Structure 1
Amino acid sequence: MRDIHQVHTLTEAVLDPILAREPAAPRVTYYDDATDARIELSGLTLANWAAKTANLIRDEFGLSPGARVAVLLPAHWQTAAVLLGCWWAGAEVVLHPDADADLALVTLDRVDESEGVGEVAALSLDAMGTPVRDLPVGVTDFATAVRVHGDQFLPRGAGVALDGMPVAEVLAQARKAAARQGFSEVDRVLSSTPWDTTAELIDGYVAVLAAGASLVQVVNPDPAQRERRIVSERVTAQRG
């Protein structure tokens, strides 16, 4: 049997080259055209939030590499960090309700989909870190819990990364998706693709990081804003 402690995590594979090259450059820029929100994370800030998430998973929830985490979250800047945190902790991410998961990370409106899961944490997705209101008993408030954890993380191994696929397979698919879409490390990629399925997540997020590119993710896109945004964000590639 292969020793999972000899396997690099997906986060190491996609994030380490970015941090070595341009840690302070924008990596994920998030827009919500319904609220006019704009949040930008550098590679270093993204890594810090991912590390806090990984520490939360390991130290507070007691999960080890090979654990399964159901991520029931929209395409959002916090989700971008959460996913990297899960992979840094060596967890397998599943994008659907799964009673066999060890942990579910959800929005309040999806708490019911985590029935049977051992641990559940809810995200408000608020930029100011506001706790979730009216949280059910037994559900952890992610924003409150994660902020006390360190922003450095030392991975201890990895197993399956995403919906049954090992790290090497996800990485290979992401690199193929990046090549197919023409992404390179100089690109700013504009996307409104959701991350609800494995294919969407790989093509719309992991592929961008694997190429060393940066992502401009737009939700509730307003078509009238698109051309102005392409100019203001110096977009060089588009999808969705």
Structure 2
Amino acid sequence: MTPSTPSTSDAASGLLAALERTGPRPALAWYEEEGRVELSGHVLANWVIKSIGHLHDEIALAPGTEVVLDLPAHWKRLVLALAVWSLGGTPRAADGVRATAFLPHAPSPVPEVLISDRPGSGPVEDADEVLAVDPISLAARFSAELPPLVHDWAQEVRASSDRLAIALPAWSGPSAEPVDGSDLAGGTPGPPARLLVEDDGLDAVPQVLGALLAGGGIVGPASRVDERRAADEQVTGRACSSQR
């Protein structure tokens, strides 16, 4: 019997458990100007857990809270979106340029929580909480001087616990979809899917979740992955952008 998609009440915990089962195997490979970054299943789960803890403990993110992710495509943006959905929040994009199928344009110009790589501009003064994030994988802190009361996410998130210490509310994100014929527990024969994603996977979240739940992973952005890199990464298919 093929396992069903995790329910909204346990989707986040199911995803984290699947990533932990993936362990040291790569769950995400990201290509940027500085080079290639690989996150194992364990490390990707750790980033999501720390982000959940930080958003819950320091930002007091509650279910239903709108979070504007004013960030370019990056694996950090994907991690933050997963953390927001895990806490029952609603991630949005700040403008049409950075919007995706699952990060639609924010309907309100004044967000409750703003996470941005440009905290010195935009609706910073009106947001209840502002987090500064550099879309550089190895950045230990934000690279520019921050306005008063703005959180330096890279510094603060590292202080969060490596263990999930709270009971999660219902998952507020999209549901996972099986990919390449694999079930969501990775129980079918053959290697789990490794999907090439256009950007950071936020245009194809159901397929990304399906790949991660099955013990596979994602590789991106597609614009930086040529045929040789795709072969080296053992890419099995390409995620298709979804439309709501």
Instruction: Write out per-residue CA displacement over residues 34-69 of structure 1, whole angstroms, 9 at most, x where no aligned residue.
Output: x15211111111111111111111111122333332
Instruction: Write out per-residue CA displacement over residues 157-212 of structure 1, whole angstroms, 9 at most, x where no aligned residue.
Output: 324624xxxxxxx21xx31xx44x6566412112224556xxx1425633432444
Q: Does 1:13 align with 2:24?
A: no
* Alpha-carbon separation, structure 2, partners of 1:47 and 1:114: 29
Q: Verify the 8 A CA contact 2:28 2:219 in the aligned structure 1.
A: yes
Higher normalized strand content (fraction of residues): 1
Q: Secondary structure at the match of 2:122?
A: helix
> 1:136 corresponds to which residue?
147
Aligned residue type for 2:160:
H
Q: Verify the 8 A CA contact 1:10 1:161 in the aligned structure 2.
A: no
> 1:41 corresponds to which residue?
39
Give the alignment partner of residue 190 of structure 1, picking from 187, 196, 206. Answer: 196
* Alpha-carbon separation, structure 2, partners of 1:110 and 1:13: 37
User: Which has the larger displacement, 59-68 or 107-116?
Assistant: 107-116
Q: Which runs of 5+ in 2 are unaligned?
A: 1-6, 93-102, 187-191
Q: Verify the 8 A CA contact 2:46 2:162 in the aligned structure 1.
A: yes
* Alpha-carbon separation, structure 1, partners of 2:24 and 2:161: 19
- After TM superposition, the structure 1 = structure 2 runs for residues 42-121 of structure 1, keeping only pairs within 5 Å, are 42-94=40-92, 95=103, 96-97=105-106, 98-99=108-109, 101-108=111-118, 111-114=121-124, 116-121=126-131
> 1:215 corresponds to which residue?
218
- TM-score under structure 2 normalisation? 0.74
Q: Verify the 8 A CA contact 2:74 2:199 in the aligned structure 1.
A: no
> 1:167 corresponds to which residue?
none
Q: Secondary structure at the match of 2:88?
A: coil
> 1:146 corresponds to which residue?
157
Percent identity reads: 26
Change (3 A) 1:18 1:55: closer
Q: Verify the 8 A CA contact 1:49 1:85 in the aligned structure 2.
A: no
Q: Verify the 8 A CA contact 2:115 2:131 in the aligned structure 1.
A: yes
Q: Secondary structure at the match of 1:61?
A: coil
Q: Which runs of 5+ in 1 are unaligned?
A: 1-5, 163-169
Q: Secondary structure at the match of 1:112?
A: coil
Change (3 A) 1:101 1:113: closer
Q: Verify the 8 A CA contact 1:65 1:156 in the aligned structure 2.
A: no
* Alpha-carbon separation, structure 1, partners of 2:111 and 2:214: 30
Q: Would you say how many aligned residue pairs link Structure 1 and Structure 2? A: 214
Higher normalized helix content (fraction of residues): 1
Q: Verify the 8 A CA contact 1:9 1:90 in the aligned structure 2.
A: no
User: Which has the larger displacement, 63-72 or 120-129?
Assistant: 63-72
